[in-house]
Structure 1
Amino acid sequence: MAKEGDAVPSVVFKCRVRDNSMTNTANPFTWKDVKSEDLFKGKRVVVFALPGAFTPTCSSTHLPGYEKHYDEIKKCGVDEVYCLSVNDAFVMRQWGLAQVGNFKKVKLLPDGACLFTRGMGMSCVWDSERGFGERSWRYSVVINDMKVEKIFVEAGQVNQNSGPDPFEVSDAGTMLGYLQSAKK
């Protein structure tokens, strides 16, 4: 499991971006490879990871909390806030449209192949428990120039079929408290 001071994994995220040159199409998007370095090198960012798009806690509390506190988090010297889930770009887009609509604040980051999640040591499998397969354990992290500055991992991480899905320390309030205290 990643700890403070560790380098974050260097992976490629398979993203979809609007391509304005694609006219007369119902799907004006194209694939774009986005490297960890594109997102985190020379920047201070917050990433919060969760088990899945469209799931109850993720949709009712986790993502909405970070969206609500986005401006306060940015004022603490954070360049960007990303929500990461082991879902593909299509699912993340539809969930984002349903949750935040305009993508002007929190950005959704698809880790469909689970590469970043595995590299962070946060992979877990909820096959018999929830039918999810491989997903991310719930956590939040401040990444400062490709290194873990601070990480909040929910207690009780189990790599296979965890019954509980705790939500106590990866929330926006905990992250904001840390950022405000680190700013002083």
Structure 2
Amino acid sequence: MIETNQTLPNHTFNLLTENGMTTPSTADLFANQKVVMFAVPGAFTPTCSARHLPGFVENFNAFKEKGIDRIICISVNDAFVMKAWGDAQSAANIDMLADGDGAFTKALGLGKETGVFGGYRSQRYAMLVENQTVTQLWLEEPKAFEVSSAEAVLANL
């Protein structure tokens, strides 16, 4: 599992924007930036839609005031689902990043097999990444939602 002071693995993602499909790399998204990335088990799922993503949307300006350059929401979903979820949640300021096959999540060591829920998914977490290096990691216990909320992350910045 990735730990603090480790560099994120190189990866190319799918990110569907208003201008179409893009394929940013880890360097494109994290180099020379201070980024909060949070992961959810699945788009449109109850806790993710009711609390996790909305907290980051509502607190976007507070993160900016703390020097955060970008907020990324990542899930083992495809780019079309992530875009639709972001639109439904008014998350225009959040990069809705797709890890369609879970390869990035696997490389981080932060995935889990959920069986009937949807197969391989991400664990719920948030991390602070500075110039591609993880400087803080907040990993939730199974079925918990405490340390990776927007409010908890803000309190720890």
| 1:97 corresponds to | 87
* Of 43, 51, 57, the match for 1:67: 57
Q: Deviations over 1:54-97 (max 9, x none)?
A: 00000000000011111001111110001111100000111111
Q: List gaps (5 residues or longer) in structure 1.
A: 20-28, 157-164, 180-184
Q: Deviations over 1:21-69 (max 9, x none)?
A: xxxxxxxx3x321101000011110000010000000000000001111
| Contact kept? 2:15, 2:96, Cα under 8 Å | no
SS of match in other structure, 2:153 = helix
Moved more, 9-18 or 85-94: 9-18
Matches within 5 A, 1:79-98: 79-98=69-88
Matched, 1:149 2:139: no
Matched, 1:119 2:107: yes
Aligned residue pairs: how many?
157
| Higher Rg of the two aligned structures | 1
Same amino acid, percent of matched pairs: 38
After the TM superposition, which segments of 4 or more aligned residues of structure 1 sit over 4 Å from their partners? none
Deviation of residue 10 (structure 1)?
A: 0.9
| 1:2 corresponds to | 2
> Matched residues in 2 for 1:125 and 1:93: separation?
24
In the superposition, the TM-score normalised over structure 1's length comes to 0.81
SS of match in other structure, 1:34 = coil
Q: List gaps (5 residues or longer) in structure 2.
A: none
SS of match in other structure, 2:24 = strand
In the superposition, the TM-score normalised over structure 2's length comes to 0.95
> Matched residues in 1 for 2:100 and 2:109: separation?
16
| Contact kept? 2:105, 2:111, Cα under 8 Å | yes
Cα distance, 1:64–1:120 mapped onto 2, change above 3 Å: same
